[in-house]
Amino acid sequence: MEKINHFNKIPSICKYCKASSDKFIEDQRVGEVICTQCGTINADRMIYEGAEWNNYENDREKGKDNSRVTWTDPTNPYSQLGCSMPNFFIKIRNDKGEYITVNLKKVHTIASSNPKERAFYEIIKLFNSLVHNQHFDQRTVDIAKIYWNEFVKTKRIFRGGNRKGILACCLLYASQKTNTNKTKETIASIMNISKDDIIKGEPIFIDIISKSKHSSILKKPNKILNLFTPIITKLNLPYNTIIQCQELYQQCQEELSEISSPAAIAGIISYLIHHIQKKKKPTKKQIIQAVNITNPTLTNSVNIILNCFL
């Protein structure tokens, strides 16, 4: 790769995952330095020092991008834009009468793009709006875009509820990757879709992602299952209680993911002992002391579990 000048200093390690700079790649088409380990952009606004040339049809077909001022989205498999204008900002009034800043370069880019490229760009706008509305952080959305790109590359057409569900799953699994762990209900509410759409789209998502380099996200270990053992032992309960608690937790894992692990563990144990087995011991007080939570926290956790089995 030819030498480039940098307006932003490139860090020696990734600012998110702390990977060394040998994990970085430089994308000259958009002027960004990207960590291949986590996908974080570590530097941008770089200038390519090579000569500026036009993008002719044959070059574009071969994947070449010779223009210095082109805006080309590297995640978009349909991107085939030629030379465009440099950044040029103007202020206009929107429908509410407010002044907003518009980059004419992007307007020109979108207007010059083909229908498939514009369709991809509409999804990117949808994802970016979730960051603007503070529903997701930028890194989670960037990972969701990478997952969606895997579906675009299949050249299959997804419509209706399946399409909505796949997009929601991109966000769902991206949130797991970044440990923000949004639930299906939360994402359905944010995207104004039915949870059933996500359930329909998830098998398609798993099928496509399992064949990609991102398949590891489907094998995320559930660490909380191992936390039942010391608590069950502390309460002097039979060993098979551990298995029963783990099975109950897996049935309502999604609902319990929004509360703390100790609260979820205490709720499962209390539900099993007092609601299924109908035993008096260990008491709620003993469970609370073993897990070190408060009585209202345990009550809330048990109520969540009760709602799962209504």
**pLDDT tens, position by position, 187-218:** 999 999 999 999 989 999 999 999 988 888 88
* Cβ contact 246:272 at 8 Å: no
161 — alpha (psi -120 to 50), left (phi > 0) or beta?
alpha
Mean pLDDT score across all residues of the chain = 78
In this predicted structure, what is the pLDDT of residue 29? Answer: 53
For residues 203 and 212, give the distance between their C-alpha atoms in angstroms, rounded to a whole number: 15
Reported confidence tier of residue 144, pLDDT bands at 50, 70, 90: very high
Fold of 223-308: Cyclin A; domain 1 (1.10.472)
Q: Which residue has the tokens 């798993």?
A: 206
Residue 148: strand, helix, or coil: helix
In this predicted structure, what is the pLDDT of residue 88? Answer: 66
Tokens standing for residue 129: 């709006």
In this predicted structure, what is the pLDDT of residue 220? Answer: 56
Please, is 76 exposed, middle or buried when counting C-beta atoms within 10 Å of its C-beta (0-12, 13-18, 19+)? buried
- For residue 238, the tally of other CB atoms under 10 A from its CB is 9
For residues 82 and 279, give the distance between their C-alpha atoms in angstroms, rounded to a whole number: 73
In this predicted structure, what is the pLDDT of residue 273? Answer: 95
Q: Which residue has the higher pLDDT, 165 or 22?
A: 165
In this predicted structure, the answer to whether residue 47 has a pLDDT above a threshold of 60 is: no
Domain boundaries, the chain: 115-219, 223-308
- For residue 138, the tally of other CB atoms under 10 A from its CB is 13
Fold of 115-219: Cyclin A; domain 1 (1.10.472)
* Cβ contact 190:130 at 8 Å: yes
